[in-house]
């Protein structure tokens, strides 16, 4: 009896303004408006839509002592509770987190996207949490400067700030991965560099490795470098090769690329006739539309290789290749020094030692 009384108290008012008995022709107007649960079987009722069922679930949540959606979701997903005695809960959570449902709109990623795009998630002034090494130069070394944790005025901004932190973690991991010796970007002092290594080095092959092994880094910098016009040209230039067409073997570097308007093409220097570092590669291998004049992906690749040199002093292969190229062109030592500070070449003395 006590259990029955508690259940009645729990369910009192849960179905208010939701369930109505189907009126008959002979029913009076008072009978037609009378609320009833006589023919209702939750949740399998053809009388209720998803919104009405969700209202019932919300009221049950509040009756169970949860003051908000966040309090309930924390119990389910924080990991503080195992639900070891409730197999149906553990199974449901497992299926949800592994996105086993066929409907992608019910997957965890879709739910987070709903949070991001919800009308109540207002887009206001954005403030991001950045690591101290990424602060502006005016305050980067200021010991009195304390970055305040942003007070997010919307869930959208909070999600952007959270996402930035996770992306930076991924960029860190990918940067370390690129420093593996198997990728050929690093060279220890004991490794001998010969002309075979130099002449076989390829900027296109380097780009292929970076884009494959560090897609987040490559995508971030490519988004900066590739403008809307070039993106459209890439989309138009994409083609599906026929099954009978043989796949061409990769050949060393490319450098055609991004187009300017015809009125501005004269501003670009004429491409060199011959260079060991700038050779012709077909668009199918270079990934650059055939009628382009500049190659933004070349710039992205060079930037990443230079940044890796700053990260690790033995990520030196690219800088060594460029240094020797500058030396063979009889470049002034001051030019080599300036480019060295930018991470584009090794020092002049290092070039001489390598050649020796």
pLDDT beyond 70 at 171? yes
What b/e string do you get for 168-200 counting C-beta neighbours within 10 Å, with b at 16 or more?
Answer: eeeeeebbeebeeeebbbbbeeeeeeeeeeeee
Mean pLDDT, the chain, integer:
81
- pLDDT above 90: percentage of residues in the chain: 47
In this structure, what are the phi and psi dihedrals at residue 294, rounded to the nearest 5 degrees? -125, 160
pLDDT beyond 80 at 257? no
- pLDDT above 70: percentage of residues in the chain: 76
Identify which has the larger pLDDT, 179 or 56: 179
Per-residue pLDDT tens over the stretch 220-243: 999 999 999 989 888 888 766 656
Backbone angle region of 207, left / alpha / beta, with phi > 0 → left and psi within -120 to 50 → alpha: alpha
The model carries a pTM of 0.75
pLDDT beyond 60 at 345? yes
- Residue 251 pLDDT class (50, 70, 90 cuts): very low
Check residue 222 and give its pLDDT: 96
Identify which has the larger pLDDT, 49 or 210: 210
Check residue 303 and give its pLDDT: 97
Check residue 41 and give its pLDDT: 55
Q: How many other CB atoms sit within 10 Å of the CB of residue 222? A: 18
Check residue 272 and give its pLDDT: 46
pLDDT beyond 60 at 262? no
Identify which has the larger pLDDT, 152 or 34: 152
- Residue 331 pLDDT class (50, 70, 90 cuts): very high
Lowest mean pLDDT among 13-27, 126-140, 220-234: 13-27
pLDDT beyond 50 at 268? no
pLDDT beyond 60 at 143? yes
Cβ neighbours of residue 215 under 8 Å, at least 6 residues apart? 174
Check residue 40 and give its pLDDT: 52
For the chain, the first-to-last Cα distance in angstroms comes to: 96
Q: Which two tokens stand for residue 179?
A: 């420093």
Average pLDDT over residues 254-278: 45
* Beta bridge partner(s), residue 257: 293
Check residue 319 and give its pLDDT: 95
Classify 40 as helix, strand or coil: coil
Q: How many other CB atoms sit within 10 Å of the CB of residue 148? A: 7
Which range of 29-33, 138-142, 150-154, 240-244 scores highest in mean pLDDT? It is: 138-142
Rounded to whole angstroms, the Cα distance separating 233 from 288 reads: 9
């Amino acid at each position: 009896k006590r259990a029955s009384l508690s259940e009645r108290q729990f369910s009192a008012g849960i179905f208010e303004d939701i369930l109505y008995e189907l009126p008959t022709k002979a029913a009076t107007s008072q009978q037609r408006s009378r609320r009833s649960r006589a023919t209702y079987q939750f949740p399998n009722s053809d009388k209720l839509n998803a919104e009405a069922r969700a209202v019932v679930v919300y009221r049950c949540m509040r009756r169970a002592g949860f003051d908000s959606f966040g309090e309930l979701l924390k119990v389910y997903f924080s990991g503080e509770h195992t639900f070891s005695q409730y197999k149906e809960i553990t199974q449901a959570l497992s299926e949800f987190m592994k996105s086993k449902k066929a409907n992608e709109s019910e997957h965890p990623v879709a739910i987070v996207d709903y949070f991001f795009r919800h009308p109540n998630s207002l887009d206001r002034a954005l403030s991001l949490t950045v690591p101290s090494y990424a602060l502006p130069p005016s305050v980067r070394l200021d010991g009195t400067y304390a970055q305040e944790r942003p007070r997010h005025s919307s869930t959208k901004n909070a999600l952007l700030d959270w996402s930035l932190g996770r992306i930076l973690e991924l960029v860190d991991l990918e940067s370390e991965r690129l420093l593996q010796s198997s990728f050929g970007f690093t060279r220890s002092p004991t490794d001998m560099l010969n002309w075979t290594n130099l002449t076989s080095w390829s900027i296109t092959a380097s780009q292929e490795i970076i884009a494959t092994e560090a897609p987040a880094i490559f995508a971030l910098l490519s988004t900066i470098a590739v403008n809307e016009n070039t993106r459209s040209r890439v989309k138009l230039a994409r083609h599906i090769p026929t099954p009978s067409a043989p796949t061409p073997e990769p050949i060393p570097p490319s450098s055609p690329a991004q187009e300017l308007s015809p009125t501005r093409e004269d501003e670009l220097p004429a491409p060199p006739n011959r260079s060991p570092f700038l050779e012709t590669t077909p668009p199918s291998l270079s990934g650059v539309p055939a009628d382009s004049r500049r190659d933004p992906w070349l710039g992205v690749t060079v930037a990443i290789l230079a940044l890796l040199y700053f990260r690790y002093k033995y990520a030196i292969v690219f800088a060594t290749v460029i240094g020797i190229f500058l030396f063979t062109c009889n470049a002034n030592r001051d030019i080599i020094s300036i480019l060295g500070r930018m991470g584009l070449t090794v020092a002049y003395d290092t070039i001489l030692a390598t050649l020796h």
